[in-house]
Amino acid sequence: MKKLIFIAMIFSLSSCFMDRIEIDLNEENEKVVITAWITDLDEPQFVTVGKTVNYLGPISQEFVSDAIVILSNSTNEFILEEGTQGKYFLPHDWTGIYGETYTLKVEFENTTYTASHTMRSCPELLNVDYVEYDLDDFSDEDVNIIDSFHVYGTTFDFQETPGEGDAYYAIDFLKGTMQGDSMRNGGFANDDFVDGEYFEGIELSEVNRFYAIGDTAVLEFYSIGEESANFLMDIESEIFRGSPFDPPPANVRTNFTGGAVGYFIISGAQSQEIIIK
Amino acid sequence: MKRYLLIIFLFYISSNYLQGQNEEKYTLNGQIADAKSGEDLISATIYVPKLNIGATTNVYGFYSLTLPKGSYEVIYSYVGFENQVITLGLASDVTKDIELSESGSLMGEVVISAEKEDEDQNVSSTEMSVEEVSIETVKKLPALFGEIDIIKVIQLLPGVKSVGEGSSGFYVRGGNVDQNLVLLDEAPIYNASHVLGFFSAFNPDAIKDMKLYKGAIPSHFGGRLSSVLDIRMKEGNSKKFAGSGGIGTLMSRLALEAPIGDSGSFMLAGRRSYIDLVSKAVQKLRGKGSDDNDAFYFYDLNAKANYRLNSNNRIFASGYFGRDVLAFNGEDQSFRVEWGNSTGTLRWNHLFSPKLFSNLTYYYSNYNYLLDFEEDFARFKWTSRLKEHSLKFDLGAYLNPNNTIRFGLHTIQHNIAPGNIKTFEEEVEKQNFDIQENKSYESAAYINNEQVISDKLKIDYGLRLSMLNNVGPQKVYNLDENYEIKDTTNYTGVYNTYWNLEPRLGLRYALNESSSIKASYNRTAQYIQLASNGNSATPFDIWFSSSKQVKPQLADQVAFGYFKNLRNNTIEFSMEVYYKNFKNSIDFKDHAQLLLNENLEAELRIGEARAYGLELMLKKNQGKFSGWISYTLSKVQKKIPSINNGDWYNAKYDKPHDLSIVGAYELNKRISLGSSFIYSTGNAVTFPTGKYDFLGVAVPIYSERNAARLPDFHRLDFSITYRSKKNETRRFKSEWVLSVYNVYNRRNAFSIDFKQEEANPNITYAERTSVFAIVPSLTYNVKF
CATH number, domain of B98, equals 2.60.40.1120
Query: For testing the chain B interface, which of A4, A51, A52, A138 should be mutated: the one with the most B CBs within 10 Å?
Result: A52
* Residue A184 confidence (pLDDT) above 90: no
Q: What is the pLDDT of residue B113?
A: 41
* Residue B111 confidence (pLDDT) above 70: no
What is the rounded distance in angstroms from the CA atom of residue B159 to the CA atom of residue B153? Answer: 13
B82 and B221 share one domain: no
Residues of B whose CB is below 8 A from A10:
282
Q: What is the pLDDT of residue B13?
A: 47
Mean pLDDT of chain B: 88
B700 at interface of A, judged by CB pairs closer than 8 A: yes
What is the rounded distance in angstroms from the CA atom of residue B269 to the CA atom of residue B253? Answer: 7
* Residue A117 confidence (pLDDT) above 80: yes
Q: What is the pLDDT of residue B725?
A: 85
Pairing of strands B98-100, B25-34: parallel
Residue B703 inside a domain? The answer is: yes
CA-based radius of gyration for chain B:
27
A46, A89 in Cβ contact below 8 A? yes
- Which residue among B590, B699, B772 sits closest to A235, beta carbon to beta carbon? B699
B43 and B182 share one domain: no
Residue B138 DSSP SS3: helix
* Residue A68 confidence (pLDDT) above 80: yes
Q: What is the pLDDT of residue B537?
A: 67
Q: Under 8 Å CB-to-CB from B374, ≥6 apart: which residues?
A: B333, B334, B335, B380
What is the rounded distance in angstroms from the CA atom of residue B527 to the CA atom of residue A99? Answer: 45
Count Cβ atoms within 10 A of the Cβ of residue B695 and give its class: 0-12 exposed, 13-18 middle, 19 or more buried. middle
- Which residue among B588, B769, B778 sits closest to A18, beta carbon to beta carbon? B769
Q: What is the pLDDT of residue A147?
A: 61
Residues of A whose CB is below 8 A from B533:
247-248
Residue B287 inside a domain? The answer is: yes
* Residue B323 confidence (pLDDT) above 90: yes
Stronger pLDDT, B136 or A126, i.e. the higher one: A126
Span of A143-157, B146-160, B182-196 with lowest mean pLDDT = A143-157
* Residue B386 confidence (pLDDT) above 90: yes
B86 and B158 share one domain: no
* Residue A208 confidence (pLDDT) above 80: no
Structural domain harbouring B75: 2-105
A226 at interface of B, judged by CB pairs closer than 8 A: no
B367 and B486 share one domain: yes
B210 and B273 share one domain: yes
Residues of A whose CB is below 8 A from B734:
none
Mean pLDDT along residues B502-509? 96
B82 and B165 share one domain: no
Residues of A whose CB is below 8 A from B249:
5, 8-9, 12
Residue B282 DSSP SS3: helix
- Which residue among A12, A37, A183 sits closest to B697, beta carbon to beta carbon? A183
We report the CATH number of the domain holding residue B644 as 2.40.170.20
Asked if A238 lies within 8 A of B771 by C-beta distance, the reply is: no
What is the rounded distance in angstroms from the CA atom of residue B429 to the CA atom of residue B424? Answer: 4
Residue A19 DSSP SS3: strand
Task: Name the domain count of chain B.
Answer: 2
Q: What is the pLDDT of residue A6?
A: 44
B160 and B302 share one domain: yes
B262-285 per-residue burial string, b: 16 or more CB within 10 A, e: under 16: eebbbbbbbbebbbbebbbebeee
B333 and B475 share one domain: yes
Count Cβ atoms within 10 A of the Cβ of residue B66 and give its class: 0-12 exposed, 13-18 middle, 19 or more buried. buried
Q: What is the pLDDT of residue B109?
A: 39
* Residue B558 confidence (pLDDT) above 50: yes
Residues of A whose CB is below 8 A from B768:
18-21
Give me the amino acid identity at A121: S
Q: What is the pLDDT of residue B744?
A: 94
CB atoms closer than 10 angstroms to residue B723: 19
- pLDDT grade for B773, boundaries at 50, 70 and 90: confident
Q: Under 8 Å CB-to-CB from B365, ≥6 apart: which residues?
A: B187, B188, B189, B190, B341, B342, B343, B386, B387, B388, B390
The proportion of chain B whose per-residue pLDDT surpasses 70, expressed as a percent, equals 94
Our CA-based measurement puts residue A50 at a distance from the nearest CA of chain B, in whole angstroms, of 9
Count Cβ atoms within 10 A of the Cβ of residue B534 and give its class: 0-12 exposed, 13-18 middle, 19 or more buried. middle
B378 at interface of A, judged by CB pairs closer than 8 A: no
Mean pLDDT along residues B614-634? 93
Q: Which sign does the torsion angle of CA B192, B171, B596, A168 carry?
A: positive
CA-based radius of gyration for chain A:
22
Single residue among B105, B120, B141 that ends a domain in this structure: B105
Query: For testing the chain B interface, which of A9, A14, A28 should be mutated: the one with the most B CBs within 10 Å?
Result: A9
Q: What is the pLDDT of residue B658?
A: 96
**DSSP assignment letter at A53:** B
Q: How would CATH label the architecture of A32-118?
A: Sandwich (2.60)
Mean pLDDT along residues A121-139? 84
B112, B122 in Cβ contact below 8 A? no
Residues of B whose CB is below 8 A from A262:
692, 694
Asked if A15 lies within 8 A of B774 by C-beta distance, the reply is: yes
Our CA-based measurement puts residue A257 at a distance from the nearest CA of chain B, in whole angstroms, of 16
Pairing of strands B688-694, B684-685: unpaired
Span of A233-242, A257-266, B116-125, B236-245 with lowest mean pLDDT = B116-125
Span of B196-210, B225-239, B435-449, B456-470 with lowest mean pLDDT = B196-210
Alpha carbon distances (Å) from B288 to A3, A144, A175, B305: 21, 18, 39, 46
Asked if B700 lies within 8 A of A20 by C-beta distance, the reply is: no
- pLDDT grade for B136, boundaries at 50, 70 and 90: confident
Mean pLDDT along residues B173-190? 94
B628 and B572 share one domain: yes
C-alpha torsion angle, residues A171, A176, A182, A186 (rounded to 10): -10
Span of B132-141, B411-420, B523-532 with lowest mean pLDDT = B132-141
Q: What is the pLDDT of residue B203?
A: 92
B81, B100 in Cβ contact below 8 A? yes
Q: What is the pLDDT of residue B275?
A: 76
Alpha carbon distances (Å) from B441 to B362, B392, B471, B473, B672: 15, 13, 8, 14, 50
Q: What is the pLDDT of residue A242?
A: 67
Asked if B699 lies within 8 A of A10 by C-beta distance, the reply is: no
Beta bridge partners of A221: A170, A270
C-alpha torsion angle, residues A174, A178, A180, A181 (rounded to 10): 120
Asked if A248 lies within 8 A of B705 by C-beta distance, the reply is: yes
Q: Under 8 Å CB-to-CB from B727, ≥6 apart: which residues?
A: B670, B733, B734, B735
Q: Note which residues in 4-63 of chain A have CB less than 8 A from chain B.
A: 4-5, 8-13, 15-23, 25-28, 30-31, 33, 35, 37, 50, 52-56, 58-61
Mean pLDDT along residues B187-209? 88
Give me the amino acid identity at B275: I
Three-state SS sequence of B3-53: HHHHHHHHHHHHHHHHHHHCCCEEEEEEEEEECCCCCECCCCEEEECCCCE
User: Could you tell me where the beta strands, DSSP code E, fall in B311-402?
Assistant: 313-329, 333-353, 356-375, 378-400
CB atoms closer than 10 angstroms to residue B13: 16
- pLDDT grade for B356, boundaries at 50, 70 and 90: very high
Q: Under 8 Å CB-to-CB from A8, ≥6 apart: which residues?
A: B249, B776, B777, B778
B615, B609 in Cβ contact below 8 A? no
Residues of B whose CB is below 8 A from A138:
none
Q: What is the pLDDT of residue B769?
A: 86
Mean pLDDT along residues B695-723? 91
* Residue B750 confidence (pLDDT) above 90: no
B89 and B145 share one domain: no
Asked if B534 lies within 8 A of A244 by C-beta distance, the reply is: yes
Q: How would CATH label the architecture of A126-250+268-275?
A: Sandwich (2.60)
What is the rounded distance in angstroms from the CA atom of residue A67 to the CA atom of residue A112? Answer: 10
Residue B116 inside a domain? The answer is: no
- pLDDT grade for B353, boundaries at 50, 70 and 90: very high
Residues of chain A with CATH 2.60.40: 32-118, 126-250+268-275
- pLDDT grade for A3, boundaries at 50, 70 and 90: very low
* Residue B228 confidence (pLDDT) above 80: yes
Residues of A whose CB is below 8 A from B701:
28, 31, 52, 55, 251, 261
Q: Note which residues in 241-270 of chain A have CB less than 8 A from chain B.
A: 241-253, 261-263
Q: What is the pLDDT of residue B277?
A: 79
Residue B776 inside a domain? The answer is: yes
Mean pLDDT along residues A26-51? 91
B145 at interface of A, judged by CB pairs closer than 8 A: yes
B54 and B203 share one domain: no
* Residue A13 confidence (pLDDT) above 60: no
B593 and B496 share one domain: yes
Mean pLDDT along residues B510-524? 94
Largest Cα–Cα distance in chain B?
Answer: 91
Bond from prior residue into B49 cis (ω within 30 degrees of 0): no
Q: How many CB pairs under 8 A join A and B?
A: 205
Single residue among B72, B105, B138 that ends a domain in this structure: B105
What is the rounded distance in angstroms from the CA atom of residue B554 to the CA atom of residue B533? Answer: 20
Residue B399 sits at φ, ψ, to 5 deg, of -60, -50
What is the rounded distance in angstroms from the CA atom of residue B741 to the CA atom of residue A116? Answer: 56
Q: What is the pLDDT of residue B84?
A: 92
* Residue B193 confidence (pLDDT) above 80: yes
Query: For testing the chain B interface, which of A7, A238, A261, A267 should be mutated: the one with the most B CBs within 10 Å?
Result: A238
Residue B458 inside a domain? The answer is: yes
CA angle B52, B54, B56 (to 5 degrees): 160
Q: What is the pLDDT of residue B9?
A: 47
* Residue A207 confidence (pLDDT) above 60: no
